[in-house]
Chains A and B, each alone.
Chain A
Amino acid sequence: MIKVYVPRDSSALGLGAGQVANAICQEASRRNLSIELVRNGSRGLYWLEPLVEVETPRGRVAYGPVSTADVASLFDADFLNDQPHALALGLTEEIPYLKNQDRLTFARVGITDPVLLADYLNYDGYRGLKNALTLEPSQIVDQVTDSGLRGRGGAAFPTGIKWRTVLNAPSAQKYIVCNADEGDSGTFSDRMIMEGDPFVLIEGMTIAGIAVGATQGYIYLRCEYPHAQIALEAAIMEAYKGNFLGENIQGSGKTFHLEVRMGAGAYVCGEETSLLESLEGKRGLVRYKPPLPAIKGLFGQPTIINNVISLASVPIILDKGGEFYRDFGMGRSRGTLPLQLAGNLKYCGLVEKAFGCTLREILYEYGGGSISGRPIKAVQVGGPLGAYLPESQFDTPLDYEAFAANWTVLGHGGIVAFDDTVDMSKMARYGMEFCAIESCGKCTPCRIGSTRGVEVIDKIRAGEQSMANVTLLRDLSETMLAGSLCALGGMTPYPVLSALNHFPEDFGLPKTDVKV
């Protein structure tokens, strides 16, 4: 039977993939053709979604973007037998955007049926766990340390060190918590993994549990991701059935339980201590550190809390070894980063690359420049708390340290492009406004500073005592940077001041009068 693939990824669904899948089934049955429809994850080539693939003797071939109106003509052209059609894209794996990537963490996304355990196993799934079960806990942590993996949620803290701390913390109960509160605008790699290959996250968390002696895991998922919830819960159920979760996993005597918990629309709950408060059933108020969550985390117990991509990168590290992973990348940024191209770009999507290529390559060679055809004026990297980069900084290599040296943030790898119609003073105002809306309210610089920030920017934009108010805004930003309890208040000045420094003319200020 011929296999036809139509993604179940929520972005593909948002462009009509569900209707296309139905139309293909109906058309096939009308023509008495038997097909096997697989609802895969997305390949991450979103300008081509809904991307329909057909399995052929020469490999999987792609058609896209397919609308319901195209379905009859695809059958007329005999697309099931690899015949030409206006929407034909050839072999999926040969599409340059996809071919020129380093897909390690995303190796299976778009290829497998995300909730079918047999498919996961066929494509090298659970090989990392199998290896982990032959190792001592300390050796598992060594592999992660050797890989050079750093927290992909944005803070880039070495994952192995975090794990070592939890391993060495004596306790009868420890926890593994996955931070799946992917609230940063312009980011969707966590969502794609959870919808497109949930087993890899489950496997990564299981390995973490075995490494540090934790028997319970929670995935704290934002409620804005209903499709990820469906995929995760289905995969968790399959994993329990297959004895990859629960008691005595694969006869090893090890236990690991896993549950999805839903957030409730608070951006600040992506901050790890706020997330733990929320998991405990409280308001998501940020905690003071120390104690670190690794020592006193969920319910006061030692807890590994890692981002989705960090945990989903663990299986390949345990499968192929820390050295294999470390051989990708540059400097102290080892391995790959799944970049998310968003906003005003021609080819938006997921690009997993080894660290080290420049932002310009990503924007133009992958992104294809702006979709509006106008010059790209500014790019926000690293979410709403990341700086705006002007064209003069586009040659920065994608590397944590190189970005930090520019007073910019690589973060979770979200890249949002704006063309020259954007008013950067408006974006700066939005930065403060967002902070005011999402502040947990515990510390004053964030709670009050953000509201005062909106007011001051409004005055600057209105031309009221501009220079005096710019001084005030810089002073306020200093206070927020130095005095906030977490990154929300502490990094809101990044988008605000980068907009002001690089685009003073948008604030009605002469370019020369503002120091960068």
Chain B
Amino acid sequence: MTDHQWDIGRVQAIIENLKDKPGALLPILHGIQDDLGYVPPDSVPMIARALNLTRADVHGVITFYHYFRETPPGKHTVYLCRAEACQAMGSENLEEHVKKTLGIDYHENTSDGRFSLEPIYCLGNCACSPSIMIDKEVFGRVTSKRFDEIIESTKVNS
């Protein structure tokens, strides 16, 4: 995926809007990722300049945090919980099913660009394990069958 399809003006506006907050870097990175779905590597020099940081500083922060990504995600991101409570309720079988159904591993996008798959370590939904989140919606007690239904309805609604 080339990196020039995003709107420089919009990213500049996000940076301008947030750069004077104390500790502005995470809010800026969230702002950009909320808007574009990722933080384009080409935006790093813009951020660095605005905050008087080095590009290495900004790159270091982006890569430290699991949530920030430097490549465009699929249209929807499926987060699958790998933590203990979900394991206690069979999340490993679900994990296998999800990977097989989507045909991808963690940190990959489906070839039609519809879905990305990311591991996540606890959604705070441990009373209703196993759990997944799609974009910002949490789903509990997810069986393989229920996963298929959720994915179908996500496709229909998008």
Contacts and interface: CB of A to CB of B under 8 A. Distances in A.
Contacts of A278: 26
B126 A342 contact: yes
A409 interface: no
Nearest to B123: A224
Nearest to B92: A426
Nearest to B51: A281
Size category of the binding interface on chain A = 35 or more
A343 B121 contact: no
B128 interface: yes
Interface stretch (A321-329, A330-338, A410-418, A482-490): A410-418
B129 A342 contact: yes
> What's the dominant secondary structure at chain B's contact region?
mixed
B128 A283 contact: no
Contacts of A120: none
A42 to B, nearest CB: 9
Interface string A456-488: 000000000000000000000000000000000
A349 B127 contact: yes
A431 to B, nearest CB: 9
Given A186-B84, A343-B88, A430-B84, A265 B66 contact: yes
Interface stretch (B8-16, B94-102, B108-116, B135-143): B135-143
Contact of A188 (B57, B64, B127, B139): B127
A226 B124 CA distance: 11
A183 B122 contact: yes
Contacts of B131: 14
B144 interface: no
B131 to A, nearest CB: 7
A416 B30 contact: no
Nearest to B141: A15
A224 B122 contact: yes
B76 to A, nearest CB: 14
Nearest to A380: B84
A299 interface: yes
Contacts of A224: 79, 120, 122-124, 133
A23 interface: no
Contact of B84 (A284, A350, A427): A427
Contacts of B141: 15
A294 interface: no
A223 B25 CA distance: 15
A417 to B, nearest CB: 7
Contacts of B126: 185-188, 340, 342-343, 348, 414, 416
Contacts of A279: 23, 26
Given A224-B120, A284-B64, A264 B88 contact: no
B135 to A, nearest CB: 9
A281 B125 contact: no
A493 interface: no
B44 interface: no
Contacts of A344: 88-89
A184 interface: yes
Contacts of A361: none
Contacts of A394: none
A266 B83 contact: no
Contact of A281 (B61, B127, B128): B61
Contact of B125 (A14, A226, A416, A427): A14
A10 B124 contact: yes
B23 A13 contact: no
A13 B138 contact: yes
Nearest to B79: A224
A14 B30 CA distance: 24
B29 A46 contact: no
A418 B88 contact: yes
B89 A281 contact: no
B128 A280 contact: no
A348 B128 contact: yes
Contacts of B133: 224
B123 to A, nearest CB: 5
Q: Name the residue in A11, A279, A348 with the highest tally of chain B Cβ atoms < 10 Å from its Cβ.
A: A11
Interface string A187-207: 110110000000000000000
Interface in B23-60: 23-27, 29-30, 51, 57, 60
Contacts of B88: 342-344, 416-419, 422
B11 to A, nearest CB: 17
B89 A343 contact: yes
A14 B22 contact: no
Contact of B65 (A183, A264, A380): A264
Interface string A40-61: 0000101101000000000000
B36 to A, nearest CB: 15
B85 A186 contact: yes
Interface in A77-125: none
B6 interface: no
Given A46-B127, A261-B23, A380-B84, 16 more contacts: A11-B127, A13-B137, A14-B125, A15-B128, A47-B127, A186-B122, A264-B29, A264-B67, A283-B64, A342-B85, A342-B127, A343-B85, A343-B88, A348-B126, A427-B87, A430-B84
Interface of B: 22-27, 29-30, 51, 57, 60-61, 64-68, 79, 83-89, 120-129, 131, 133, 136-141
6 contacts: A15-B128, A223-B30, A261-B27, A267-B121, A343-B88, A416-B88
Minimum-distance CB pairs A-B, first 4: A281-B25, A185-B83, A343-B88, A265-B67
